[in-house]
Chains A and B, each alone.
Chain A
Amino acid sequence: MSGEASHQPGDVIRCEGVSLTFRLPERKQGVKDVFMSPVRALKTREFHALDDVSFHVGPSEILGVIGNNGAGKSTLLRILGGIYQPDRGSVSVHGRIGMLMELGAGFHPDLTGRENVYLNASLLGVPTSVIEGCFDKIVDWSGMSEFIDMEVRHYSSGMKARLGFAVAAELRPDVLLVDEVLSVGDADFRRRCDQRFEEFVAQGTTIVLVTHSLQLVRERCTRALWLDKGTVRLIGDPDEVLSAYQADLQEVRNATLAQDNEKRGDPENAAETVAETMELEAEAEVEAETQEVPEPAESEPVAAAPAPVIPLAHPSDANPPAMPAAPTQPKRWGIGGLRIEEVVLRTRDGERRYSFDMGQYMRFDLRFRAERPIEKVLFGIQLATVDGTLATGVNSLLQGKPADIEPGQGLASFEIPELLITNGDYLVSAFAFVLDGGARTDIDYWKHCSVFEVVGGPRWKLGIGWLPRVAFHQFPLESGEQDESSDS
């Protein structure tokens, strides 16, 4: 067939400086908009889906395309498949192209499965006589014989993927473009796809695979292409590209968290509250009450800026029963006299970060300023998950080090040599308090002042905590031993 003839030594796919721009109206337009505000109606937003993308793919290669949503992965496949023409640059693909786009592999929803198989094949350029020969095989492989005369609109995405993949597999295109199709199937389907992939490679089919499954790229692809905002960030060995991509993901996450932390750290943002204490005995509260309650807004001694004051309902707010899901807003309260100004999360090198690896070193630096001398001040931090569940905490009382504070700036630092909480986001609360005969009085409690993430934890998250150095033993008990124990 023509596909055979067009096999040429060298590259099967060549992409040279491909750019594609979408020009989209700012919003959906009607005649009304055109008349009411012609300037805005005619304004379009340019979206550079792909910008100067160049790469080559050789025969029987499997190229995995990864990248965030909106990076241009599907657009790239559509260009390779000839659906879109690039605005600049050139694309050449040798041989028959089979396409399996995200939802439905070139199926028309109004046609039945059977009709779609024929349509799909004729779009691939396969004559009807050839399809008739292998139609039963296609249906068998897809396991869709029951539904083959049903309209495709009633198919699930998994069913569409099965049939689409079966057609592509049977009609043996020279180039197969796959967009996230394999992830919708069940385990059995994926296993058979894996098998087919090996056959494809053996046949010399070139595959371009767009996927979010990094594992699939690692296991199946000969090369990986990382698209980022329409440009090629990296292309090459899958392991190399994947680790760079993952590192970048963590970096991006770190930046997002840093932004979040900036907002949390801003004193204007923390909802200052009147003194709240956790005493068990009421008398310790008197000092706080008299100082704070009469005129909360004015007399707030710790307020560096006119902060919004919301009356606190209950002391139990320190650990509320139903904390709204993230983003949990910071809150602070305390009798004042000492104010935690900043909570900095650092690595062993002292680098400020918001993303930490599990099991590694982590340090919390609490920078504070005291206004008057206070005796026996204790510092603490608490870590909570984003739904407000307390995960763990530490304070200087546990270390037995109450400190006498002089007016001025100071630093309290908690070093955690091994961060043994599993991956996820954690909210930090930092506080300074004094113990007055068994009762605890908060000088400054800054709840959820910071957020950070833990990565690189166990593959299956079983909980917040991590039990280190667990040993597992398994052995049969001797029958005599068992009898003995049951006798006694």
Chain B
Amino acid sequence: MMPAILWQTIGSQRRGFQYFHIAWTLAKRELKGRYRGSWLGFFWTFVEPLLLTFIFFFIFVVIFRQDHQNYLIYLLAGMLPFFFLNSTVVKSTVSLSGYASLIRQVYCPREVFVMVGVLSELYHFVFSLVVLTPFYFYYGVLPSWRIIGLIPALLLITLFSYGLGLFCASLNVFVRDTRFFITLLFRMWFYLTPIFYTVERLHNLGPTAIHLYNLNPMVPLLGIFRWALVPGESLPAPHFLGIMTAEIFLATLVGAVFFARNDNTAVKML
């Protein structure tokens, strides 16, 4: 027997997806409006990761002699997905308060406003992957058939960001500190995740530490991204992949339940 709250959550999500086209309209608008009035416009999508790549290149290749053979591809293949998750969750956190005027004026399932953040950031993320191209030329390598691994990786990270986004969006209505807390949390998470360093570096810590480390779902998830994008990377161990998938589904479920449960209270507080 499924508890009533699950049915409520399913109903809430179904209503949300019936209004998916609204989310799409708003997301398109957000993308259009983002760089309006700026000189570089859409190129900012590439400028930011490129600039960060050069910074990390300087620190880890020039100074610390990082010896990964395709280091910059490796770095970007981890950084871009992580930034996608980061910016989606931050954007979702303020989505309900940001769209409060609309929410108070006309009926629209509130899930839609979390979807807006996910959609616009996803679009942005997929395009920013183009940044990898010059680095393939630089290292003289090409992505192989394994690039299809992007599909499950994208699905998982999108689901994850939606789930976390739902949770934070709802929480932020009650506790306005959430948005500041989230920013800090992601900064810590960034260092706990192999983005500018490799997992191999931690092998001397022993198997227990590695197991614990892999409980961070972003570790195996970035592993899939790297397997798909970085030549010579191997897929994380199957049990790590399994645990990661379970964690992401669980997090999404918790986020959706939390959102559905608080939806009616939250809308009254906007």
| Chain A residues within an 8 Å CB radius of B104 | 78, 83, 101
A84–B22 touching, CB < 8 Å: no
Docked complex Cα distance between A120 and B25 (Å):
11
B264–A108 touching, CB < 8 Å: no
Q: B25's contact among A104, A105, A107, A118, by CB below 8 Å, is which? A: A118
Instruction: Check A84/B264 contact, CB under 8 A, given A110-B29, A115-B29, A123-B22.
Output: yes
Docked complex Cα distance between A115 and B31 (Å):
14
Q: A107's contact among B26, B105, B267, by CB below 8 Å, is which? A: B105
The yes or no answer to B21 lying at the interface (CB within 8 A) is: yes
A83–B101 touching, CB < 8 Å: no
Instruction: Check A119/B101 contact, CB under 8 A, given A22-B268, A83-B267, A99-B107.
Output: no
Q: B106's contact among A23, A30, A101, A109, by CB below 8 Å, is which? A: A101
Tell which of B105, B108, B268 has the most Cβ of chain A within 10 Å: B105
Docked complex Cα distance between A123 and B107 (Å):
8
A120–B22 touching, CB < 8 Å: no
Question: Distance in Å from the Cβ of B48 to the closest Cβ of chain A?
Answer: 22
A81–B264 touching, CB < 8 Å: no
Instruction: Check A119/B25 contact, CB under 8 A, given A84-B264, A108-B99.
Output: yes
The yes or no answer to A122 lying at the interface (CB within 8 A) is: yes
When each residue 19-55 of chain B gets 1 if its CB lies under 8 Å from chain A and 0 otherwise, what string results?
Answer: 1011001100100010000000000000000000000
Instruction: Report B73-117 residues with CB < 8 Å from chain A CB.
Output: 99, 101-108
The yes or no answer to B265 lying at the interface (CB within 8 A) is: yes
B105–A106 touching, CB < 8 Å: yes
Docked complex Cα distance between A338 and B269 (Å):
60
Tell which of B19, B25, B177 has the most Cβ of chain A within 10 Å: B25
Docked complex Cα distance between A22 and B29 (Å):
33
| Chain A residues within an 8 Å CB radius of B21 | 122
Q: A85's contact among B33, B102, B264, by CB below 8 Å, is which? A: B264
A30–B268 touching, CB < 8 Å: no
Question: Distance in Å from the Cβ of A78 to the closest Cβ of chain B?
Answer: 7
Question: Distance in Å from the Cβ of B33 to the closest Cβ of chain A?
Answer: 6
B22–A108 touching, CB < 8 Å: no
The yes or no answer to A420 lying at the interface (CB within 8 A) is: no
When each residue 446-485 of chain A gets 1 if its CB lies under 8 Å from chain B and 0 otherwise, what string results?
Answer: 0000000000000000000000000000000000000000
Instruction: Report A109-130 residues with CB < 8 Å from chain B CB.
Output: 109-111, 115, 118-120, 122-123
A83–B29 touching, CB < 8 Å: no
| Chain B residues within an 8 Å CB radius of A78 | 104
The yes or no answer to A31 lying at the interface (CB within 8 A) is: yes
B106–A84 touching, CB < 8 Å: no
Measured CB to CB, the residues of B under 8 A from A are 19, 21-22, 25-26, 29, 33, 99, 101-108, 176-177, 264-265, 267-269
> Can you give 16 contacting A-B residue pairs, CB < 8 Å?
A22-B268, A23-B268, A24-B269, A30-B176, A78-B104, A83-B267, A84-B267, A85-B264, A99-B105, A101-B105, A105-B106, A106-B102, A106-B105, A118-B25, A119-B22, A122-B22
